Chains A and B, each alone.
Chain A
Amino acid sequence: MTETFGNDRRAVSATITYVLALGITTMLVAGILVGGSTYVEDKREQVAREQLEAVGTRLAAKVTAVSHASESGGNVTARVTLTDRIVDSPYTARLDSNCNEPTFSAETCLRLTLTDPSISMAVPVTNDSDIRLRRDGSSTFVVASTPTGSPLDGDDGTKVEVNPNIGVGSGVDKAFEATSDVDPTNRQPIAGFTYAPGTPTAGQSVTFSNDTSDLDGSIVTFAWDFDGDGTVDDNGQTVSHTFSDPGKYNVTLKVIDDDGATDNLTKTVVVSGLVYEGDAQTFKPGGSLTLSGIEFTINNTYDGQVTVTDVLIDPDDTDVRELTDEESGEDRGEREIYVGGDDQVGGSDIGGGATIYDDGRIIDLNADGDNWGRDAELSSDSTATVELFRFKDASDGEVNMTGEPVDIAVRHEYDGTSYVSKFTIYPAKPPGTGPAPSMADVITYEGDLYSGAGIDAIAFDIEADADLTVSNVSVDSDLSDGTYSRVLVQNQNNDWTAIKGWSGTYYAADGTSYSTGGTTIESIERLLVVDDLNTPDLQHTTNPADADVSITLGFSDGSTKTFYFEED
């Protein structure tokens, strides 16, 4: 057998296997490389396009801004620094005023061109001016404008707010408003003043008091003008002025603070011409044993007739609750208030009396309609007496008004204008009644009158604010005669002191005094003064409630206190 080396086929299949494997692998790698290369190129172009668009947008924005600034006539040169290359490739940019792009509508556009990859794109530009774009160096673009139109018109439509307080308006201040500016260097003073009395009468001194505030300084000048003529009449924080004639006066206070800022305030002062003469005194109304009436005089200083229409009465003593009528006399017969005007007598006529409230009572003179109610009329320079009758307390007891302050306001009309005269009266005792008792003044009558039908005694409680010595007691009545079996004083310890003993007959109609013998009674609580007033043995059948009785206590200091008990 013949064997040749070339015919030996061992290991052939392995070689073929290797060759095939190598070839297939080479083809696969080549395919991957070709595919990857294409992918990389696509991505590079995409990135380049995006970056080119970003550069174009920035440049377009700059061109638009320059164009806008140039519209108002400005020469504008703007510089913008961008990247010098895109994907490591140079690019160019230019303005094209003949833009004809299918994707947008604009007359002008910015064209950008990249060489590698070869990309060209357009970005719309808003450009109403003559704009030039050039490249200054590799990365800086210069956008310059040349205004093509005329300079900006004088009126650009912008509203300019200029306050008119310049020129002829300088020095005029503005009233403070919440939204107004505040001068930080000074706050304006706020002028203010008060005056008293609030309703002065002609010839009465009026006190004007400064009430100005200045938040950041002090007032250095006070200038008062009392008659509105623009002339300074007085200076000072508190000044007095007397208006000699009735009427209405504009009083102005002008103040200047330490920074020179000023303010002024004007008030109208109404000066009444119906003047109280200061002569109030009490009197006993007809049939009364008590000084429960008040009379005073008013004087008409107006140039013509005045009509008194209303009277306000406001006693300080809150025990006073009623003003009743005179109950006697002729034109005063039914009146609570009598005003003796010379042209016409007037007064009130309120049936059943006028209740006095806590704040007083305004009584319209002709409001009632009874016979005696009417306004009073006073001619010029005349005087009229005003009489107020029978002040009473809640128990219908008359009140001695001596020394009791009473606020009075007299409303009246002059020349078609309403005025008010307001004053306070302090009624004095009528002449001849002597000075007010000092010790007696500390006594307060507590009421509790023990009298009436079937009771034949008068007893009442009093309280004293100090120790008292009752020296004597006198009893007076309108009875023709009477018998007083006992006159006793009881102190706080219920100790009785007989001023007059249990027996005997005493006639008191003449006001006989009975001595207590100097008995000192401290802090009297109850004073039983008269007992057995109506004793059968004297055939006196009158109940004490049917009589007007006055009981006067005499004290060790010589003062007296009288209590009146009126017939029921």
Chain B
Amino acid sequence: MLLIGSITFALMIMGLVVVFNGLIAPSPDVTDTSNDVDEAAEYNGEVRRNARTLLIHTNHQEVYASKSDLNDTAERHFGNYSRLLAESYAASGPVYVNATYDGPVAYGHRTVQHEENDFTHGSNDWSPVDSPNEIGWFVVNLNLSDVSNDPFRIVVENDTGETMGYEFTKNGSTVTAVDIDVTRSGTPLAEATCQPFSGRTLLDLLDGESFTSSCSMPGVSAMDGPYEVTFEHGDRVRGKYSIVTRGAPNNGVPNCASPPQNPCRSPVVWSVNVTTTYESPGVSYTNGQNVSVYGGSEA
């Protein structure tokens, strides 16, 4: 009897052990690679941002006489970027990345005065963008020693008839800052005094910011496009300018030749196809996509 009782108790203890083993059993073995997918998506975003920066620099690096010249330069730059990117990722782990430049989807047009001159073209008043157009870049580089005491004006009008006016006047006789009065549809909107650096002031009129000082004003982008641009009294100012439009403005400015005329019209990459690849032990990612260089529509 004692033997039977002992065996019974042993079985009971063993059963309890099984039960409690189950209660404290670990979670199933899982290799979690969820972050790989996020990293692949982030990599794709990084390529998109850098592609835009790289192509903006490429577009403005030279005055191109043909689209093929521009495209060759862009492809070369993008190839260098992709190679460096792959080396960078490979150094950080078992990841293969690749970014390929699949060519432009659309070209834009850059009306550019690349040599110092006044802002006239045939006449003191003229329109570098003479029909409603999407603008991706609008930069003026003024030599303030040649800004007149009488105002030079840039008028931007959209297809609804709204206008943004920028009136440039020399500030003071010896301090060569420039006063900028901004109006919207004729109503005073803002005033700014932009200090020069080394006698020049560089203005991004699309965003309304100065590169050479901290002055700012409402930019053209504060008003919905598309836009027309007119220079008034271009003889009262000297410097350089660059305006990128999606369509070709009929402003009488010739296409850039070699050597380029001043001003002239040079092609730019407006949008481009880019394919990204991300391969890691946990994820395979490819994305063929369109990148708008200046942030507008792709085609």
A187 at the interface (CB under 8 A from B): no
**Cβ-defined contact, B285 with A160, below 8 A:** no
A11 at the interface (CB under 8 A from B): no
**Cβ-defined contact, A166 with B56, below 8 A:** yes
Interchain CA distance A162-B60 in the complex, whole Å: 11
Interchain CA distance A40-B52 in the complex, whole Å: 63
Contacts known (A33-B11, A37-B15, A78-B283); A167 close to B23, Cβ less than 8 A: no
B3 at the interface (CB under 8 A from A): no
Interchain CA distance A36-B53 in the complex, whole Å: 70
Question: Contact check: which of A36, A50, A78, A81 meets B19 at CB < 8 Å?
Answer: A36
A158 at the interface (CB under 8 A from B): yes
B198 at the interface (CB under 8 A from A): yes
* A contact residues around B27 at 8 Å (CB): 50-51, 54
* B contact residues around A75 at 8 Å (CB): 284-287
B85 at the interface (CB under 8 A from A): no
B240 at the interface (CB under 8 A from A): yes
Contacts known (A74-B40, A154-B292, A172-B212); A167 close to B60, Cβ less than 8 A: yes
B251 at the interface (CB under 8 A from A): no
Number of A-B contacts (CB under 8 A): 211
**Cβ-defined contact, A69 with B37, below 8 A:** yes
* A contact residues around B271 at 8 Å (CB): 154
Q: Is the interface of A mostly helix, strand, loop or mixed?
A: mixed
| Closest partner residue, chain B, to A79 (CB atom) | B282
Interchain CA distance A468-B174 in the complex, whole Å: 61
Taken residue by residue from 16 to 49, chain B's Cβ proximity to chain A (1 for < 8 Å, 0 otherwise) reads as: 1011001101011111111011101100110011
Interchain CA distance A166-B244 in the complex, whole Å: 13
Interchain CA distance A44-B295 in the complex, whole Å: 58
**Cβ-defined contact, A155 with B197, below 8 A:** no
Question: Contact check: which of A47, A81, A160 meets B30 at CB < 8 Å?
Answer: A81
| Closest partner residue, chain A, to B52 (CB atom) | A160
**Cβ-defined contact, A80 with B15, below 8 A:** no
* A contact residues around B282 at 8 Å (CB): 78-80
**Cβ-defined contact, B31 with A166, below 8 A:** no
* B contact residues around A73 at 8 Å (CB): 287-289
B114 at the interface (CB under 8 A from A): yes
A134 at the interface (CB under 8 A from B): no
**Cβ-defined contact, B12 with A168, below 8 A:** no
Which segment of A57-65, A307-315, A337-345, A485-493 sits at the interface?
A: A57-65
Question: Contact check: which of B23, B25, B114 meets A168 at CB < 8 Å?
Answer: B114
Closest chain-A Cβ to B294's Cβ sits at a distance in Å of 9
- Among A37, A39, A151, A172, the one with the most B-chain Cβ atoms within 10 Å of its Cβ is A172
Closest chain-A Cβ to B145's Cβ sits at a distance in Å of 8
* A contact residues around B203 at 8 Å (CB): 164
**Cβ-defined contact, A173 with B32, below 8 A:** no
Contacts known (A169-B211, A172-B197, A264-B198); A78 close to B16, Cβ less than 8 A: no
| Closest partner residue, chain A, to B23 (CB atom) | A43
A16 at the interface (CB under 8 A from B): no
**Cβ-defined contact, A72 with B289, below 8 A:** yes
Question: Contact check: which of B8, B287, B291 meets A154 at CB < 8 Å?
Answer: B291
* A contact residues around B4 at 8 Å (CB): 25
Interchain CA distance A222-B27 in the complex, whole Å: 77
B141 at the interface (CB under 8 A from A): yes
**Cβ-defined contact, A47 with B174, below 8 A:** no
Contacts known (A69-B41, A156-B48, A166-B61); A175 close to B23, Cβ less than 8 A: no
* B contact residues around A177 at 8 Å (CB): 214
* B contact residues around A39 at 8 Å (CB): 19
A361 at the interface (CB under 8 A from B): no
Interchain CA distance A69-B288 in the complex, whole Å: 13
| Closest partner residue, chain A, to B25 (CB atom) | A47
A82 at the interface (CB under 8 A from B): yes
* B contact residues around A153 at 8 Å (CB): 290, 292, 297-298
B152 at the interface (CB under 8 A from A): no
Interchain CA distance A159-B45 in the complex, whole Å: 12
Question: Contact check: which of B19, B37, B60 meets A76 at CB < 8 Å?
Answer: B37
A152 at the interface (CB under 8 A from B): yes
Contacts known (A39-B19, A51-B27); A175 close to B296, Cβ less than 8 A: no
B241 at the interface (CB under 8 A from A): yes
Name 8 A/B residue pairs within 8 A (Cβ), A-sorted: A43-B23, A69-B37, A72-B289, A77-B284, A78-B33, A80-B32, A160-B53, A175-B212
